[in-house]
Every structure is written in C-alpha cells, then in structure tokens.
Amino acid sequence: MDQLALDRRNRAVTFHGHLCPGLVIGLRAVEAVMAHPVLGQIDYGKLVCITENDACGVDAIQCLLGCSAGKGNLVARPRGKHAYSFFDRDSGTALRVSLRASKHEQTSREEWQQILMDMPLDKMFSASAPSYEVPESPRIFASIPCEICGEGVAEPMLRFENGKKVCLDCHHHYSRRW
C-alpha cells in the first residue's frame, strides 16, 4: 500500500472508529472515484455522492471526499446495495460504482477484508452511469411551527391534517396501499 493510500485509510479508520470490511468497501470506492479522470480532480467537498446504503463505507466517503448530509452533497437512496454514485454538478460528469464481489460463507471477516483491499478495482466494482440525475442543490426553507407540537419544521416537510399545519411526527399517515 502506498503512503497516500495508507494516509487515507488511517484518516477513515480514525473517523469511523475501526477498520472493517464495510469501511474497506468505502475506501476502495473513494479510490475508484479518485482514479476517474474528471471526478478525481474535483476539490474536496465539491463532489455529490448518492449512497444506496447506510453502511460503514459511507464514513470513508464523508471523511475522504467531504460529502456530508449537512452540505447537501451526501444523499441517501436506501437500496441495500454497496453502490455509490458520484456527480460533479459543474461538468455533469457522473459515475456509479457497485460492489460486484461477494463474500463466500467459509471466508472469515479478516480474510474478506484483505481480499477487498487487494482486489483490483475493475474486479471489485462494476462502473456505469447512474440511472438517475444529480439531486438539486440544497435550498433553505422557512421553518413553520407545527400546530400540534409547536416545533419548527421545514416548509416542504409539513402536512395538512384537519386544517392544521403539522410535522411528520404529528401527522397521522393515511394509505390504502398495501
């Protein structure tokens, strides 16, 4: 492992708290995006990542690429997949990497982690264009008090119920779909 890769790994381990196979998947996804001729040149914190999971690998992306929910450039699209889409809003360049490698039952956690660290990126991930667009840039919304609990809620998250503006926690969801 070269010094840059070791430094990245150490930063991600410090951020996440330990080294594990999930973090390694995120580290390798970062490696794949950094190797991309356009996306790999984007300044820290400027890439947008849509993650299709909420697993350990997301911490590597937050730590090493500067993607965060608070800045609006880390968006969860929960699908239960080790898949990440990266976007550059300025150029329109996008890349989706999805884990294609799978752990065999008899492989220990430590062995699997080492396999993931050593595997060539093109064997580990499939790479394609995302099937969805980059999310819009973050906006600031007015905070409106819920007429039941009194807590402020961002305007797009309000619901109307019995003529009152209510937050999602106070709203009684109605659906006839199964």
Q: Report pLDDT digits (tens) over 65-94.
A: 999 999 999 999 999 999 999 999 999 999
Q: Is the pLDDT of residue 145 over 80?
A: yes
pLDDT digits (tens, 9 = 90+) for 107-141: 999 999 999 999 999 999 999 999 999 998 989 99
Q: How far apart are CA 23 and CA 10, in angstroms?
A: 11
* pLDDT value, residue 173: 83
pTM above 0.85, yes or no: yes
Q: Which fold has domain 3-128?
A: 60s Ribosomal Protein L30; Chain: A; (3.30.1330)
Q: How far apart are CA 153 and CA 95, in angstroms?
A: 34
Domains of the chain, by residue range, sit at: 3-128, 139-178
Structure tokens at 162: 């019995």
* pLDDT value, residue 176: 79
The residues with which 86 forms a beta bridge, in sequence order, are 49, 95
Q: List the CATH code of the domain at 139-178.
A: 3.30.60
